[in-house]
Amino acid sequence: MNGSPRMPTAAAALERELLAQIPLARAMALRVVAHAGESLTLAAPLAPNINDKGCAFGGSLASLMTLAGWGVLRLAVAERDLDCDIYVQDSTIRYLAPVWGELRCEARPATGESCAAFLDTLAARGKARLRVDCTVALPDGGEAATLSARFVALRTDAAAA
């Protein structure tokens, strides 16, 4: 993305934050490629994320999916101008097929979940959880890896009280 005028401001800010605050994101050459509604897509080139077999390293796939899930919440809380700490509480990963090219992950709230309900709870209680599903797709549309995770957000003003 790197300052592309077509990328919404919130997504551009998220990419800057990830690259500035998370050294692994820089090492992976991570970038935000799309943000629409409650969906976020991140990508990274294969070269800095390669394993000894010549395909994507499983740790890079796990990191990309975790960062994408975190990013969904980060964008949601930024939309309401809430100052929060966001953590991954638990996650389950399935590795289904090797990735031989660009790593590309889409994250969105899990079925039955919504950012709106998450944000309402966060505003009312100072903390909230959101289940997020992340998928690394294959070029043919199949799935290379999936992550199902629960993230927690704590309002920093609520934590201080």
pLDDT tens-place string over residues 20-59: 999 999 999 999 999 999 999 999 999 999 999 999 999 9
> Number of structural domains, the chain?
1
User: 72-113: per-residue pLDDT in tens?
Assistant: 999 999 999 999 999 999 999 999 999 999 999 999 999 999
Signed CA dihedral, 117, 118, 123, 127: sign only: positive
Domain that holds residue 128: 9-160
CATH number for position 35? 3.10.129.10
Q: How far is CA 3 from CA 27, 44, 98, 139, 140, in A?
A: 19, 16, 31, 26, 29
Residue 4 lies in a domain: no
Residue 2 domain-assigned (yes or no) = no
